[in-house]
Structure formats: C-alpha cells, structure tokens
Amino acid sequence: MKLGFALGLVGLVKSACLSTGNQDTVNQLLQQGGADTVVSLCPGATVSITDSIVFTAPGQEVSTQGYPTDNTRASIIILPGSAVSAAIRGNWQDHVKVLNIQIDGNRPNAGLYTGPGADALLELGGGTTGQTVSHVVAKNTRSWSCMHFIGSGQDDNPCRNANITFNTIGPCGDEGHDADGNALWADGMSIECVTSTVTDNTITGPTDGGIVIFGAPGSHFLRNTITSSSTALGFGAINMVDPSYDGNYSNVVVADNIITGVAPGLFNLGIGIGSQVWSNPHAEPNFGPATVTNNVFRGAIGFSIVVNGWAGGLTATGNDVSGVHAPSADTADASRCGAQQQASFDASQQLIVYAPGVAGPSNIQSEFVRIPNNGSNWLCLTHPLPTQQSYAPQTLFVTAQQSTVVDLRGFHVQFQGDGNLVGYDTTGGVWTPRWATSTSSAACGEDGASCLLAWGGDGNFVLYDADGPFYDSGTSGRGVELTFFNVAPWVTVTDAGGEVIWSIE
Ligand SMILES: *[C@@H]1O[C@H](CO)[C@@H](O)[C@H](O)[C@H]1NC(C)=O
Ligand SMILES: *[C@@H]1O[C@H](CO)[C@@H](O)[C@H](O)[C@H]1NC(C)=O
Ligand SMILES: *[C@@H]1O[C@H](CO)[C@@H](O)[C@H](O)[C@H]1NC(C)=O
C-alpha cells in the first residue's frame, strides 16, 4: 500500500512522497498505516531525527521514491543534542524493508552515545523472517555498530531469512578510547540471523568487526568488499569468533569477499575462525561445517586468516593472500602480542592454523602454516611503533589507572597502581622488566586514579599520589624535552641546548 498522506486519499495521489519531516512524521504514517505501509521519502529529502523511527507492523517499508541508488537517496540524520543512536528500529516485525535511503548517525557532530538504548544505527532482527535492508547507506553510528540484526533467543523462532544486499556501510566508529575510557570502535554489520543473505555490500572503515557473524547458521556472506579506514586500526574484517547459538556456524558460507587494509590504517585480522582467535577466547570450540573460500586479501592486514578452536568441519580453500603487504612489520606491530603471535608476525605469516585446535573433517588449503603453539587472542596488533618517543613540557599526563605511559617497538612503559613506574621489554611475548623507578605508594586509590605521572609546564618529571609528589627529576625550569627509548638510556630529560640533564640508565 502506498500512502497518499498529503491529501489523506489513498490511491488518488500516485506519487506522493515525504519531502521533509522528522521521526514523528514518519512514525505517524507507520502507526496509522499499519501493515505493508510504505513511507516513501522524496529524492533529496532530509529527515532530521531526535528519536528512532520504529516499524510497527509487518511488511512496512521506508524507502526513497523511485528507488535511486545514487546520492539522491533521501537522508535520515540524527541531530546533535539528541539522546538516541538507533535511527531505525524494526525488531520483531516480519518482512519490513529499509531500501535506498541514506542513514547518518552523525557521530562527528552528535558525538558518541552511551546513554540508555545505546544500540546500533539500524536495529533489526528478533523473532522474524524476511527483513530486507538493501541499497542503503549507513554511516557514523554513535554506538557499537552501523547495522545490527539481533537474534531472538528462541530456538523455534530464530531471526531468519534476512536479506542484506548492496549496502554501503561506514565509516563506523573510531580507534581507541575517549577521555572517559569509552571504547570508540564499532562494527560495520553485526548479524545473528540464520539462513540469511549478506551479499554485495561495501563496508569501509569499520573499527571493530567489518561483518561480525554471530553464529548465524545457514547464512551466506558473499561478494562483500571490506576496506579498512585509511588511518585507523580495524580489529577484524569478518569474524567467526563469537559463541552465539553455542558456537554453531553450520552451513555458514564466507566466499568471494575482498578484504583490503589501507595503510596507515590496517586490519589486525582478516577472517578470524574459532573460539580461540579473538581477545575473549572461550573454551568450547565454535563449529561448522562452514566454508571460507576464494576470499581475496590485500594491503595492510596483520593476519589474513587464523583458525583455532573449531570443530565439525571446515573448508578453507582458494583464499588469496598474494596481495597482502609484506613484511608485516611495515604496517603493524606485534609488541603487545603473545609469543606465537609474535613469531607468526615476524615471519609475515598470513594463513595460520593451530591444527590441534581443529577437530573434525577439514579441507584447508596447503598455504596454511601449521603453527606449533596454541596461540589464543590474535587481536593484539597496533600501528607500527617507534623506537623512541619525545614529549614537550605539558604534553604527558598519565594516571596509574590509565597505566600505559608509552608503547615502543618491543617495549612497554606503565605506571602501576602501586606507584612504581616500570619499563618492560616485550620481546617474545614475555614481559621482562628492564628498569623501574622502584617507587611505591599506598595512596594511588583503589583503581590507581589518584596517582599521576606529570611532565608539566615547568619541565619537571614528577610522580604524584593523593598526598603529593613522591618522585621527580629535579629539572624544574630547565627541562625542555622528555624522551622514552626502547634501549638504554631508557628515559632522558634534555635542556634547551640538547644536553641530557637527567636520565634513567
Ligand atoms: C533482497 O531484496 C532485494 C531488494 O528488495 C530484492 O531485489 C531481492 O530479490 C531480495 N532477495 C531475496 C533473496 O529475498
Ligand atoms: C546447528 O544449527 C543447525 C541449523 O540451525 C541445526 O540443524 C543443528 O542441529 C545445530 N547443531 C547443534 C549441535 O546444535
Ligand atoms: C588452547 O588453549 C586454550 C586456552 O588456554 C584452551 O582452552 C584450548 O583447549 C587449547 N587448545 C588445545 C588444542 O589444547
């Protein structure tokens, strides 16, 4: 049913479309129209919202009139100052459709949203069948994903038969944390629906997973193009690591996808397969039979495919890593990784399997390197790290709660909750202390927040606790540069003439 809302005369107004409005305009049409209502936005229209657009009955659709695929697609944008991150919600409504529109979470202007209901930019799924998102642009989520199809939690009524095709997704999220410690990263798509079709999507600049497959037995992920941010780290391009459906990935197919890391951005992992691969390893293996074939990997990717913690069958053939940049050390750093991960990284290995961690039949292409040790958590890479790092006065303040002072190649400096400042050599995945201030404090607070390392405006390098300074370089009024090194001397303060006036050797 097309809705002739301009005159309220259904059928008479053939080409009515909504040329402006907000969530209330759209929600009224959906509520009044009932099942199968199509809200048709005019080409070029912008709908600015401060709350979610919500599908209220089966078969409803929001789309641009004429179904254009270019930038005349109507836009839905979240306004700054609003307490919402989900632009569209369509949970538990069969056959709803979001077609040929652009959805902008507006994170650069509206900011990260961590309040109540901090959900993905598009929230679909639940106990439903046949939902479609196609030819949609979705970017700048304020929350953890640009598109989430959630499961239902009901064995006999799973989210199923979703159709997610020809969408243009990203950027989604940013790298790292904000000043309050909130994670800034976000998925491109997070998919928990079974027997679904996720094909021909273009996902650019995801910072968590590009396509996160939450089990989703029977779903096919084909011909998607997943490209990293050109500046930021993305954790993974396609994830088969989460234990949804108790780890059931039966008849999941991941084929013909193109995964590209664009330096100085990168993907830490191309495709992660199994329960031991992500940063939250879990004991029970994920299981297939699953198929991961003919995917192409290019550019700045730390590890293209890692398999560990799998059972029930895996076919991984025809995957092409010939276009991945080598050596890996040009585009990433493994100083924060475990021993096996560092060894694989140093050898620029791209197709990696821990064979004892794979049970059941498998057909794995011969290029896979059989690693000798049980490497868990491959999500450990960073951008390439320097061998030394310098700071002008007033530019370095770190609490013992924040802990990390600086990461250097093969080296980590941390300010600990016991008031000690320690430099660790991380070579080989074993943290060996090389130097320390050997200070201690009982006044750092429960979480370390009361201890502060400060390289202040006066050029003095000081450690404070709740009671005041307890260590300093004695360079007030003279220090102009503080430098940390990954070889001795480990720390120096230099004066205006470049002379070292204080150091830790
Ligand atoms: C998916 O949705 C598109 C757009 O509506 C449609 O053309 C296509 O036939 C659908 N595919 C399936 C498998 O339902
Ligand atoms: C995995 O999922 C498939 C498809 O839903 C189902 O047939 C199979 O029984 C499941 N396997 C297990 C062990 O639960
Ligand atoms: C690998 O290590 C993980 C975590 O320590 C463990 O759960 C798993 O069983 C190990 N795999 C094998 C094959 O021993």
Per-residue pLDDT tens over the stretch 130-173: 999 999 999 999 999 999 999 999 999 999 999 999 999 999 99
Residues 394 and 179: their CA atoms lie apart, in Å, by: 17
Can you tell me which atom of ligand 3 is nearest the CA of 282? 7
Q: Give 163 Cα–ligand 1 centroid separation in angstroms.
A: 6
Any ligand 2 atom below 6 A from CB of 195? no
SS3 192: coil
Q: Residue 414's pLDDT band (boundaries 50, 70, 90)?
A: very high
**Every domain of the chain and the residues it spans:** 44-370, 388-503
Tokens linked to 498: 């470049």
Long-range contacts of 24-33 (CB under 8 A, 24+ apart): 26/53, 26/62, 27/53, 27/54, 27/56, 29/3, 29/5, 30/54, 30/55, 30/56, 30/57, 30/60, 31/56, 33/1, 33/3, 33/57, 33/60
pLDDT for the residue numbered 11:
37
pLDDT tens profile 116-131: 999 999 999 999 999 9
pLDDT band at residue 429 under the 50/70/90 scheme: confident
Q: What residue's CA is closest to ligand 3, atom 6?
A: 283
Q: Which CATH superfamily is domain 388-503 in?
A: Bulb-type lectin domain (2.90.10.10)
Strand partners, 315: 291, 363
Asked whether residue 14 carries a pLDDT value surpassing 50, the answer given is no
Nearest CA to ligand 3 atom 12: 357
Q: Which ligand is nearest to the CA of 340?
A: 3
**Mean pLDDT, residues 68-78 taken together:** 98
Give the ligand 3 atom nearest the CA of 354: 13
Q: Is the pLDDT of residue 420 over 90?
A: yes
User: What is the pLDDT, as a whole number, of residue 6?
Assistant: 44
Binned at pLDDT 50, 70 and 90, residue 15 comes out as low
Atom of ligand 1 minimally distant from the CA of 197: 13
Nearest ligand atom owner, CA of 151: 2
The pLDDT, as a whole number, for residue 13 is 43
pTM: 0.92
* pLDDT tens, residue by residue, 213-249: 999 999 999 999 999 999 999 999 999 999 999 999 9
**Pocket of ligand 2 contains residue 225 by CB under 6 Å:** no
pLDDT of residue 20: 94
Q: Ligand 3 centroid vs 319 CA: distance in angstroms?
A: 26
The CA 246 to ligand 2 mean position distance, Å, reads 10
- pLDDT cut 70: percent of the chain above it: 97
Instruction: Look at the domain 44-370 and name its fold.
Output: Pectate Lyase C-like (2.160.20)
In the reported structure, the alpha carbon of residue 195 is separated from the centroid of ligand 2 by a whole-number distance in angstroms of 12
Contacts 24+ apart (CB under 8 A), 177-184: 178/112, 182/112, 182/114, 183/144, 184/112
- Nearest CA residue ID for atom 9, ligand 3: 283
Whether 179 lines ligand 3, by a CB cut-off of 6 Å, is: no
Element (H, E) at 483: strand 481-485
Residue 9 has pLDDT above 80, yes or no: no
